[in-house]
Amino acid sequence: MTAPILVIGATGHVGREVVDQLKTAGHAMRIMTRDASRAADLGVGADVVVEGDLRESNSLGDAVSGVEKAYYATPDPEDNVVMLENFLAAGKPAGLRHVVRLSARSADITSSDDLARRHGLAEKALEESGVAWTHIRPSWFMQMMFEYAPGGRMALPGGEGRIGWIDTRDIAAMAVKALTEPGHEGKCYTISGPEALSYGDLARTMSDATGREFVYEDMTPETYREQQRAAGDEGWYIDLVLQLYANIRAGRYAYLTDEFEQVMGRPATSFAQFAKDCAADLVKQLD
Ligand SMILES: NC(=O)c1ccc[n+]([C@@H]2O[C@H](COP(=O)([O-])OP(=O)(O)OC[C@H]3O[C@@H](n4cnc5c(N)ncnc54)[C@H](OP(=O)(O)O)[C@@H]3O)[C@@H](O)[C@H]2O)c1
């Protein structure tokens, strides 16, 4: 029997696409989540879903049993390396030999940015673990647009900064390729979409694709902090996101790469195509 591919972060933005694509291609998989009810809309049988928490080492046994390869994505709290090390410590004796981890373009152990440093440290821990690794360092996700524009108003502290937005379906396709074909061990892929676009550009493109009005309003970082605090976000997360927006405003996310096309043999999806494909999901925010 083929060893199942373990998906950690299956209920996340990219992970749910990884699950979908593994399922479509007919690969055996297992999904780990802290709460099985969160996997209810993934379209997989209950038999492939196991509960486990990366902060609870003794909860990981069922997830890693008989697994050789894993997709791994989590948020970026201060203990992200501990979570990864818990997983590796459970997985290695069980036969884990390759982890494809979702990182970020800015990963750098020397960075003063929390997100960049935490990804850098996690990449280093994975590289030193003795398990084969693939780092996927994507730009920002186009699918964040499903959450960014309640009522069609996209109010964010991004200024005029441009980003090489990438479609999570493309990120997942690269992860699935790395998990299911040889030759991706020890590789670090920094990937972007085909264009660097500002939030104003996004709003115009979403309006064109949906026939409904989307507008971008620049917001001060202070207003954003108050808004997110009132919405219940944790302080560490607000700090981390505001560091990202400072970088966006400064133009540090406007980079583009051709690594997606080199590896996948096709161009990355444009934002206009994403908006057309996902128009129904985009307008859900307006109703
Ligand atoms: N958003 C962007 O534009 C962007 C761009 C570049 C890179 N990234 C990186 O992408 C990563 C996040 O990926 P994503 O957006 O696909 O995921 P996500 O939507 O943030 O979801 C987080 C996932 O992590 C799982 N998780 C959280 N804590 C866990 C724990 N203690 N034990 C087990 N699982 C846990 C959750 O599973 P359950 O809730 O089901 O347990 C969930 O599936 C971050 O590292 C971020 O820096 C994001």
For residues 104 and 34, what is the distance between their CA atoms, to the nearest angstrom? Answer: 23
- The model's pTM is 0.96
Say if residues 55 and 83 touch (Cβ distance below 8 Å).
yes
Instruction: Compute, in angstroms, the gap from residue 13 CA to the centroid of ligand 1.
Output: 7
Q: Which of 7, 18, 34 to mutate to test the pocket of ligand 1 (most atoms within 8 A of CB)?
A: 34
Helix axes 235-249, 221-230, angle to 10 degrees: 150
Say if residues 275 and 210 touch (Cβ distance below 8 Å).
yes
* Mean pLDDT lowest among 112-116, 123-127, 280-284: 112-116
Average pLDDT over residues 114-124: 96
Instruction: Compute, in angstroms, the gap from residue 71 CA to the centroid of ligand 1.
Output: 11
For residues 79 and 66, what is the distance between their CA atoms, to the nearest angstrom? Answer: 26
Q: Which of 6, 7, 13 to mutate to test the pocket of ligand 1 (most atoms within 8 A of CB)?
A: 13
Q: 120-128: which pairs have CB atoms within 8 A and are 24 or more residues apart? A: 121/80, 121/81, 122/80, 122/81, 122/84, 123/188, 125/81, 125/84, 125/85, 125/88, 126/84, 126/88, 126/99, 126/101
Instruction: Compute, in angstroms, the gap from residue 73 CA to the centroid of ligand 1.
Output: 5
- The two beta strands, 69-72 and 5-8, are parallel
Chain mean pLDDT for the chain: 96
pLDDT of 1 > 80? The answer is no
Average pLDDT over residues 262-269: 98
Ligand 1 binding pocket includes 4 (Cβ within 6 Å): no
Average pLDDT over residues 105-126: 95
* CA atoms within 13 Å, Cβ hemisphere of 35: 4
pLDDT of 66 > 80? The answer is yes
Which token pair is 148? 């960014």
What are 7's strand-pairing partners?
A: 31, 71
Ligand 1 binding pocket includes 76 (Cβ within 6 Å): yes
Give residue 266's pLDDT band: very low, low, confident or very high (50, 70, 90): very high
Select from 171, 60, 74, 185 the least CA-distant residue to 119. Answer: 74
Say if residues 166 and 191 touch (Cβ distance below 8 Å).
yes
Say if residues 70 and 96 touch (Cβ distance below 8 Å).
yes
Give the pLDDT confidence score for residue 132 in this predicted structure.
Answer: 98
Say if residues 235 and 228 touch (Cβ distance below 8 Å).
no
What distance separates the 2 farthest-apart alpha carbons in the chain? 55
Domain with CATH 3.90.25.10 in the chain: 139-165+191-255+262-287
Domain with CATH 3.40.50.720 in the chain: 5-138
Instruction: Give 212-237 pLDDT, tens digit per residue.
Output: 999 999 999 999 999 999 999 999 99
For domain 139-165+191-255+262-287, give the CATH number: 3.90.25.10
For domain 5-138, give the CATH number: 3.40.50.720
